[in-house]
Amino acid sequence: MEQLSPRVIWLWRFGSLIRTLLFWTPIAAFAGVGVAGLGGTAAGVLVAGGPLALVLLMGLAWPSLSWRHFGFALREHDLLVQRGVLYRRRTSIPVSRIQHVETRQGPLERMLGLSRVLVFTASGFSAEGSIPGLDTPRAEALRDTLARRGEDDGV
Amino acid sequence: MSEEVAWKRLHPASLWVNLVPRTWRTLWSLWPLVLLAVVGGGGVGVRPEDAVFLLFFLVSGAASTIVHYLTLRYRVVEDRLEIRQGLLNREARAIDASRIQNAEMLRNPFHKLAGLVEVRLETAGALRTEGLLSALSEQQAADLMARVDAARGREPVDDDATEKEPVARLGTLELLAYGLTSHRAGMAGLLLAGAYEVASVLDPMAAERAALRAEGTQIAGLVLMTLALAAAISALLTLLRHHDYRLHQSGEELASEEGLLTRRKVEIPLRKVQLVHVEETLPRRLMGFGTVQVETAGIGEVGEGGVRAPELTVPVVQRPRLFAMSRRAVPDPGFDPWSQELRPAHRRALWRTLIQLTARHLLFSAVALTGGVVVAGVVLSLLPVLWLAAWLDWRYQGWMLTDDALIARRGFWRRHTWVVPRDKLQAVHLVQGPVLRLAGLGRVLVRVAGAQVLLPDLATHDARAVMDELCPA
């Protein structure tokens, strides 16, 4: 199985940090202030800081685990994608069924030189296969290879 | 070349043919608001502000119908149907004829009066009917279909001359059986709630007194009466929708025709069929029939609750004929799931479900303790019933993989059987959460265009084998 670029770990860590700052920190602060009013400053800091520290720690560690469990293989007849630490998903997409392939880059991905490859079939369930965090030249090569291999789409 | 073909427009009667059904549909979709406007606000009658609110929706609907008629143009150029429409947002669509999944011709009572037809051409994966021409004269519709058929490489079909093999014809009694066994518990609930709401607006004191003084038998009687009313409404709607149901096969095409007020005719090329879904609820099984649904990749119509409805439904098929009927729509799967034993779900799948169910129910009972020991006891006493339901559901799950098809079955109360031709698969997923992994199980999800089928939980190695078999490396 081919692995993603290790740089994607930093991309995911950064995404997790942003989510923590924008979502979890205000909630923790709100809870902390509430508890501090009832049980004193120390209790407030503990209630706000404890879970927040845990979320931050998870945000640092989880991307490494995700990277380790993510793999894909372009085989003769299908594209195989495997992902997930707790919830594992293994997807097989026959290459003959691929309708179109896209590469996408957000600002952070551009900074890190990474791209996502999205594979669409006629199933109508958004992108059937998604491979994030590939070096851009590798993503483009994969996109071109997959896009050229479509045959009978079975529809 | 494309400039030489003249654009055509809808029949002028399109306006009134579509205005009344459109207004009715708007009122129907807004019925809670209409009910609130009529009986709300402390009395019967419509307040001016409510009337303006309702009028806004009605006028928007009417305006959209008028714009649709004035701006829609269509033509068939080479092998594609081109449609353009819109006033502010202009749209131009080119539909490749080879991509058309199924063609549907519809005639509501107004179409019939004006001698018109609505043509719907559906493509794969689209979120709406791509080719909707709401009012064409019969001649226009016939010309259009002939040109689309020619572009699809299909021989011109003369409805009278073509040999049609009758496959099914349903009478009133069969349709009544179908209507009475349709799932209408939701409708019964709505009727009950609506009736109470109206009563409490007309005479709040009397309604409250009646609700507080009602005894167990009275409540049970009321519920039974509402269920009977819902079943009667369901039967009536079924008769209207499926009246004089006929299914026939002409060569490589299945076609159905049905409906009393709105006559609906659906044609499906067999090569476009993605799967066959057979629904056998317990009452239908007891009465010896099932319902066969044939699905293509077209969007179909949006049914109740927004769920995508199948393109072609055969409401009543006697159990001994279910396999033969499914074989008409998809290639012979080489296995008859109605007379042969399917491979069962894994035994550990039952244990996993029972443990999960018990843990959840114990938690629920603990919460119910806040309402008193008696309430918690009642909640807890339901656990054996849930165990039985889980066992029944597990017992009747099954699957089979043949050279040509994948067959899956789930459910006891509402038994579903899917027959999926293997050459229609779009992707296969193997999903394993932590509990499934702990139990050594895997869940295989198979996707075809526009639908998906979940297999029963299998041992991990079996699930991997199925996946490898369906999608060889």
Every domain of chain B and the residues it spans: 8-156, 173-242, 245-345+397-470, 347-393
Structure tokens, B143: 């010309």
User: Over 70: is that where the pLDDT of B231 sits?
Assistant: yes
Residue range B255-282: mean pLDDT, rounded: 91
**Residue entry with tokens 């054996």:** B384
Q: Å from A9 to nearest chain B CA?
A: 23
Q: Å from A85 to nearest chain B CA?
A: 9
pLDDT of residue B302: 43
Residue B276 DSSP label: E
Residue range B376-386: mean pLDDT, rounded: 92
Pairwise CB contact (< 8 Å): B447 & A128: yes
Centroid of chain to Cα B353: 28
CATH architecture of the domain formed by B8-156: Roll (2.30)
Other CB atoms within 10 Å distance of the CB of residue B348: 16
Alpha-carbon span B160 to B180, nearest angstrom = 35
Q: What is the pLDDT of residues B66-76, one digit of tens each?
A: 888 899 999 98
Which range, of B303-312, B435-444, B458-467, averages the lowest pLDDT?
B303-312
Alpha-carbon span B91 to B1, nearest angstrom = 21
Question: Which range, A75-89, A135-149, B297-311, B368-382, has the best average confidence (pLDDT)?
Answer: A75-89
Option in B431, B449, B450 nearest A89 (CB): B431
Residues in chain A with pLDDT < 70? Answer: 149-154
pLDDT of residue B95: 82
Confidence of residue B34 (pLDDT cuts 50, 70, 90): confident
Higher pLDDT, B218 or B364: B364
Establish whether this prediction's ipTM goes over 0.95. no
pLDDT of residue B305: 36
Option in B101, B424, B427 nearest A91 (CB): B427
User: Over 90: is that where the pLDDT of B129 sits?
Assistant: no
Higher pLDDT, B361 or A154: B361
Torsion of CA B52, B58, B61, B63, to 10 degrees: -70
Q: How many CB pairs under 8 A join A and B?
A: 89
Q: Is the backbone of residue A154 left (phi > 0), alpha (psi -120 to 50) or beta?
A: left
Q: What is the pLDDT of residues B389-433, one digit of tens each?
A: 999 999 999 999 999 999 999 999 999 999 999 999 999 999 999
Alpha-carbon span B245 to B169, nearest angstrom = 6
